[in-house]
A and B are shown apart, each in its own frame.
Chain A
Amino acid sequence: MNAVDTALAPKPAVRLISGNHACALGALAAGCRFFAGYPITPSSEIAERLSRLLPEVDGVFVQMEDEIASIAAVIGASMGGVKALTATSGPGFSLKQENIGYAAGAEIPCVIVNVMRGGPSTGMPTRPAQGDIMQARWGSHGDYPIVVLAPASVREIYDETMRAFDLAETCRTPVVLLYDQVIAQLAETVELGDTSDLARTERKWASGPRAAYQPYAADEDGIPAMSRPGAGYRVHTTGLNHAENGFPTQNPEAVARNLGRLLTKLDRHRDAIDSWQTINCDDAEVLIVAIGISARAATRALDIARARGVRAGLFRPITLWPFPETALREVAARARAVLVPEMNAGQLSLEVERILGGKRVEGMHRFNGEPITPAEIAARAESLAKAALAKETR
């Protein structure tokens, strides 16, 4: 490329930005106008970015006194009708769980970023891990639905952050963006288009006469219309089990009815929710299932393995919860073996085992802060393929 070309061509907005930076930009593009957070490595860059960017668009940034206050303020802002975000890492994510349950139960849209680092407890603050896969799904008590998205690149963080807001709004649910320290602090060249004319998804607002409005009576899509404070509906929002009218109840029928709807409400939106990527799966004898940095390593491992004559494919859930299980089943049907490399002691493996029933699922687990390398995955895939072949020919 010569100098004249670069000067004349409309410059594509190629930028070298980090994952956390992309998250902040994606949130703004999605219409997020409120951020509350508490400093924690390795997610603080999101807060730092938004503390500068939000005032520029008449939004609010506030650093709260602790992790719990941050998620509470975010839910509070969303109850006021404003799209809101918080970002944290494992220890903070644990602290937020009770209130994430509140947002799920009271159906308040919000987005929570969890940049995974080593654990348990304080763990390894600057080293990556993927140990919050189960916490993201089951961290709060009781039964509740939640959407968890697991982007694997800077570009994808940007896109999935926007999708997180859209899903939070349409499904009135908390959405967790789950990615590891590597992706968070990795800077990659990405091309970001102009999003100023992007159609933004807003939650369904209550309309019609107040007397007829039931805050938790759902339409056929399973999602109730939300009332905006000041619009005259004056409803009650509670973390207690409630009836369609929003008021607490312990009536078994009423609780079963509302909670039953809540627990199945995402089912009707799976088309919009589910997202995954497959690479070389059509003829794969070894299927690798991975997310985040492990999936990036697996991508490269596919090439290495194929060069050695091992037909490996990758299934990468982008929506981690609810898990795109139908898609996985279809892809896995043709594979002889399934390999799940992940930076934990076996969380994704557990879910893959559950979905694939009796199929042999081989976990590849590492929790020392070092990402699994492409070569390691390729070698494991090769030995798996050989073992599977040996078993079949025996």
Chain B
Amino acid sequence: MRDSRVEIRIGGTGGQGLILCAKMLADALAAAGKHVAQSQTYEPTSRGGYCNSDLVISDGEVDFPLATALDWLVLLDRLAIRPSWPLLKPGALVIADTRLCPDLPEGDRRAHHLPLSRTAIELGSERVANIVALGALAALAEICERRALEQAVRADTPRSFLDLNLDALAAGYRLGEQAITAPSSTSAG
């Protein structure tokens, strides 16, 4: 069984920019020669409601493009816990927003509660919480080169938001790097 397969989910609610940040990560990975499949689940409402975007990353062609066993889970809303929790691989890493997703269920996983949305608010807009999360994920998962990710963020950001998004990415990296040195909670957070 060819398995360089890595699965990442960014879960939250509609309107948080989950699909966009997943796409940025996917672009960065694609630039590095990885095969990526990025899928999404959303509800018919344009805003609000459960939403996630999944990445399946592989050295070869991705056979089944949907999540089956998550290596990484980023939670930007508690709504995303229920559909995602059963998919976690044993020992998977979970990054949860301290404010929007304070409580996590029991399970065999490593969890980091990070102030993603609060950091975004401090940067000037809660709307960049997705980019902060992206930075934190990239730092913790060490899944792609930082330069490639910055390039992907640049490519997908309108000029007027570029500085904000790059700041958010850097802030996310900082949060992630701090978390590496800090112990992660291994039981219920």
Question: Do A and B touch directly, given a CB cutoff of 8 Å in the complex?
Answer: yes
- How far apart are A295's CB and chain B's nearest CB, in angstroms? 10
Q: A296-B64, A303-B2, A374-B68 are in contact. Are A41 and B44 (CB under 8 A)?
A: yes
B44:A182 contact, CB within 8 angstroms:
no
A296:B26 contact, CB within 8 angstroms:
no
Contact with B along A124-151 (1 / 0, CB 8 A): 0110000000000000000000000000
- Give Cα A325–Cα B31 distance, bound, in whole angstroms: 41
Which residues of chain B from 31 to 55 have any CB-CB distance to chain A below 8 Å in the complex? 31-44
A189:B36 contact, CB within 8 angstroms:
yes
In the bound complex, residues from chain B placing their C-beta under 8 Å from that of A296 are 63-66
- Among residues of B, the one whose C-beta sits closest to the C-beta of A125 is B44
- Give Cα A1–Cα B39 distance, bound, in whole angstroms: 26
Instruction: Specify which of A6, A126, A299, A375 is in contact with B43 (CB 8 Å cutoff).
Output: A126
Q: A16-B23, A303-B1, A304-B1 are in contact. Are A188 and B64 (CB under 8 A)?
A: no
User: A254 interface residue, CB < 8 Å from B?
Assistant: no
With a 10 A CB-CB cut-off, give which of A125, A185, A375 has the most chain B CB atoms.
Answer: A185
B38:A187 contact, CB within 8 angstroms:
yes
User: A112 interface residue, CB < 8 Å from B?
Assistant: no
Which residues of chain A from 57 to 108 have any CB-CB distance to chain B below 8 Å in the complex? none
- Among residues of B, the one whose C-beta sits closest to the C-beta of A183 is B65
Instruction: Specify which of A1, A16, A182, A299 is in contact with B36 (CB 8 Å cutoff).
Output: A16
In the bound complex, residues from chain B placing their C-beta under 8 Å from that of A27 are none
Q: A304-B1, A307-B1 are in contact. Are A188 and B40 (CB under 8 A)?
A: no
In the bound complex, residues from chain A placing their C-beta under 8 Å from that of B68 are 300, 373-375
With a 10 A CB-CB cut-off, give which of B2, B31, B32, B63 has the most chain A CB atoms.
Answer: B63
Instruction: Specify which of A16, A153, A189, A293 is in contact with B66 (CB 8 Å cutoff).
Output: A293
Q: A182-B66, A371-B66 are in contact. Are A189 and B34 (CB under 8 A)?
A: yes
A186:B35 contact, CB within 8 angstroms:
no
A187:B26 contact, CB within 8 angstroms:
yes
B64:A299 contact, CB within 8 angstroms:
yes
User: B62 interface residue, CB < 8 Å from A?
Assistant: yes
Instruction: Specify which of B31, B33, B39 is in contact with A186 (CB 8 Å cutoff).
Output: B39
- How far apart are B65's CB and chain A's nearest CB, in angstroms? 5
User: B100 interface residue, CB < 8 Å from A?
Assistant: no
With a 10 A CB-CB cut-off, give which of A15, A41, A189, A307 has the most chain B CB atoms.
Answer: A189
- How far apart are A359's CB and chain B's nearest CB, in angstroms? 27
B65:A188 contact, CB within 8 angstroms:
yes
In the bound complex, residues from chain A placing their C-beta under 8 Å from that of B34 are 189
In the bound complex, residues from chain B placing their C-beta under 8 Å from that of A6 are 31
- Among residues of A, the one whose C-beta sits closest to the C-beta of B67 is A373
In the bound complex, residues from chain B placing their C-beta under 8 Å from that of A125 are 44
User: A339 interface residue, CB < 8 Å from B?
Assistant: no
Contact with A along B8-40 (1 / 0, CB 8 A): 000000000000000100110011111111111
In the bound complex, residues from chain A placing their C-beta under 8 Å from that of B23 are 16, 187
In the bound complex, residues from chain A placing their C-beta under 8 Å from that of B44 are 41, 125-126
- Among residues of A, the one whose C-beta sits closest to the C-beta of B64 is A300
User: A297 interface residue, CB < 8 Å from B?
Assistant: yes
Instruction: Specify which of B1, B63, B65 is in contact with A182 (CB 8 Å cutoff).
Output: B65
User: A333 interface residue, CB < 8 Å from B?
Assistant: no
- Among residues of A, the one whose C-beta sits closest to the C-beta of B39 is A186
In the bound complex, residues from chain B placing their C-beta under 8 Å from that of A374 are 63-64, 68
User: A256 interface residue, CB < 8 Å from B?
Assistant: no
Which residues of chain A from 269 to 313 have any CB-CB distance to chain B below 8 Å in the complex? 293, 296-297, 299-300, 303-304, 307
In the bound complex, residues from chain B placing their C-beta under 8 Å from that of A182 are 39, 65-66
In the bound complex, residues from chain A placing their C-beta under 8 Å from that of B66 are 182, 293, 296-297, 371, 373
In the bound complex, residues from chain A placing their C-beta under 8 Å from that of B36 are 16, 187-189
User: A14 interface residue, CB < 8 Å from B?
Assistant: yes
- How far apart are B24's CB and chain A's nearest CB, in angstroms? 10
A1:B40 contact, CB within 8 angstroms:
no
In the bound complex, residues from chain B placing their C-beta under 8 Å from that of A293 are 65-66
- Give Cα A375–Cα B66 distance, bound, in whole angstroms: 12
- Among residues of B, the one whose C-beta sits closest to the C-beta of A12 is B33
B30:A15 contact, CB within 8 angstroms:
yes
Apart from A296-B66, A373-B68, what 10 extra A-B contacts exist at CB < 8 Å?
A: A1-B32, A16-B26, A186-B37, A189-B34, A297-B64, A299-B63, A299-B64, A373-B64, A374-B63, A374-B64
Some 18 contacts from A to B, beta carbons below 8 A apart, are A1-B32, A1-B33, A14-B33, A15-B30, A16-B30, A153-B65, A187-B39, A188-B62, A188-B65, A189-B26, A189-B35, A189-B37, A293-B65, A299-B63, A300-B64, A303-B1, A371-B66, A373-B68
User: A: which residues have CB within 8 A of B?
Assistant: 1, 6, 14-16, 41, 125-126, 153, 182, 185-189, 293, 296-297, 299-300, 303-304, 307, 371, 373-375
- Give me the 9 closest cross-chain CB pairs, A-B, nearest first: A300-B64, A187-B38, A299-B63, A303-B1, A300-B63, A189-B30, A16-B30, A186-B39, A125-B44
